[in-house]
A and B are shown apart, each in its own frame.
Chain A
Amino acid sequence: MNANIYLHEVIYTVPGREEPYMASVASLHHDPTRDHRMDSGAVQQFRTVQTSGPWPGVINIWEKTWAGQTEDLVGQFLDTKRDSAMEDWWNRNLHLRRGGYDRLLIPTDYSPTIAELAARDVTGEVFWHEIAWLPFGEPRRYLDTLGERLLPALDEFGLDLIGAYRVAMRPRQVLTIIGARDWSRLGALLDASTSHAGMQQWNAYRASTVDQADELLLLPARHGTLYTRP
C-alpha cells in the first residue's frame, strides 16, 4: 500500500538549460533552512529525449503527502508559514525555465515508493512516460488491468514499474512510468508488443480503452537516484 501522493511537473525549460534547471530545483531539497518541510524528495527528475513526444523539457516527480502538499501551498499563497527560500529560488532562476504544468498524482497500491525503488536498486537508462485519457469511470479499472497484465510482462523483459497513478481532480487521466535499465530492454519490449501473448492482450485492451495518450521517452537527471552509474 503506497500512502503517498506525487507532485508531477512538466517544466518548459529554456532550451539547453535542462540539466542546470534540474540541479537548481533539486538543490532546494538540500537547503537546511527548509528541513522542516514534509517532503520525501524526488522520485526522479528527467529530461525529454528527442525520440518521442515534445522536446526539450523536464519532468520532475516528487513524493509527498496531502498534508505536506497543503503546507507547501499555504506557504506559497498565504502570508503565514512563508517559504522564503522557495520564493528567492523562484525569482533567481527565471533564466532557466519559462513555466510549466503540474498534476497531483494518486498512486495505485502497487506503485512503488522511493524507499521501495531504492531497496530494489532500480535504475534506468531510459524511461517510458505516458499520460492517458480514458472514459469516465475507467481509470481505476485500467490501472488494475495494468497491474494484472502488464506487470508480469515487464518482469519478463526486465523492466521496472516506476509509478502508476490516477490524477487528482482530473478524473479521466492516468499517468504511468516504466524504467528500462538499458535501451535494449525497451527495444525488446516494443519488438514483442505484437507477438508476445501477454503484451498482445494488454495492447488490445489499451487500444480499445485509451481515447488519447501523450508519450515521452525520458533520460534521468545525473544526480538522481534512478540514474544508472557506471
Chain B
Amino acid sequence: MNASTENRHAYIHDRITIEGGGRGRMIEMIRDRWAPHLERRHGVRLVGVWATVGSTADWPEVRVQWEMEDWAQFARAQEGQYPMEERDVFLTELWNQALDYRKRGHSMLLRAAPFSPDVASIAADGIGGDVILHEDVRSLPGRMADYHAALLSEYLPLAEARGLRLLGAYEHALVPNLGMNLWALRDWPHWQSLMESEPDDAELAAWTVRQGEWLADIDGFLVAVPPSGALRT
C-alpha cells in the first residue's frame, strides 16, 4: 500500500447501552436523521450502525462508527457541535429524543491502520454483509504496530480465503495498546459455516497461538445490520 492510499482519516466508535426495547428505534433514528444531519452539517460520515448480537456479547446495545476526513476536520466538526445547545439545535433535539432509547454510552477515538479501508473504498469495493465480526484488541505494551503489520501480511490472506473482508482495523488514538478490528461476513450461513469449521481449522488455530506474540487479549463478537423495521426489540 503506497502513502497516497493510506487511510489517514479519524474515527469515533460509539458503544450505546440501550434502555428497554429501544434498540431498533435507536438504529433507525441514527440512519434516518442523525447521520444525514451530521454529514450535511459537519461533514461527518457514517461508517455503520449496528445492533450488537446479544448471544455473543453485551445486550441490548447499539454500535455506531463515524469517519472524519482527518484530525483537523475532526476538530472542526466537534467545535461545530459542542456545546450543542448553542451550536446545533437539531442535534440537541435528536440527543434529547434519544434519551427514550439510551441514557449512556462509551466512545473511542480511533486512528485507522494504514491499510484499513475508508467509507469511500468500502462503498466502491462493495464491502459489507448481514453480519460483522467485531474484535476488541488489547496489545502487549508497544506492540500494536507489529500486530497490524502481521494482521496485514499473515492474517488477512487467511481471513479472505475464508470469505471475511476487512471493514476496518484501528488503534485507539488516546489510550495506548487498545485497538479494534471489523470484518464483514456475507450472511448468517457464512458465520455458521465458519463456526462449524473452527475446531478443525489448523491454520486459524496456529494464527490464534501466534497472536500471543503481540496481543494481551482479543474478544470477538458479532454485530448485525438489521434491515429497516426488522428489529423490534
Contacts and interface: CB of A to CB of B under 8 A. Distances in A.
Given A90-B233, A99-B60, A133-B217, A168 B224 contact: no
A168 B222 CA distance: 11
Interface stretch (B65-73, B143-151, B164-172, B186-194): B186-194
Interface in B188-227: 188-189, 191-192, 195-196, 198-199, 208-212, 215, 217-222, 224-227
A94 B22 CA distance: 11
A102 B230 contact: no
B9 to A, nearest CB: 27
A66 B227 CA distance: 23
B130 interface: yes
B227 A78 contact: yes
A104 B224 CA distance: 16
B40 interface: no
A137 B212 contact: yes
B215 A79 contact: no
Interface residues of A, number: 33
Contacts of B21: 90-91, 94
Contacts of B231: 76-77
Contacts of B195: 5, 66, 104, 168
Contacts of A214: none
Contacts of A171: 208, 211, 218
B132 to A, nearest CB: 11
Interface stretch (A49-57, A67-75, A118-126, A191-199): A67-75
A169 B220 contact: yes
Interface stretch (B29-37, B47-55, B116-124): B47-55
Contact of A73 (B55, B209, B227): B55
A74 B188 contact: yes
A116 interface: no
B54 to A, nearest CB: 6
A17 interface: no
Nearest to A137: B209
A20 interface: no
Interface of A: 5, 7, 66-67, 69-70, 72-74, 76-79, 87, 90-91, 94, 99-104, 106, 133, 135-137, 168-172
25 contacts: A67-B192, A69-B55, A70-B192, A74-B188, A77-B188, A77-B224, A77-B225, A77-B226, A77-B230, A78-B230, A79-B230, A87-B233, A90-B21, A90-B233, A91-B233, A99-B61, A103-B56, A136-B208, A137-B209, A137-B212, A168-B195, A169-B133, A169-B219, A169-B222, A171-B211
The 3 closest A-B pairs by CB, nearest first: A136-B212, A169-B220, A137-B209
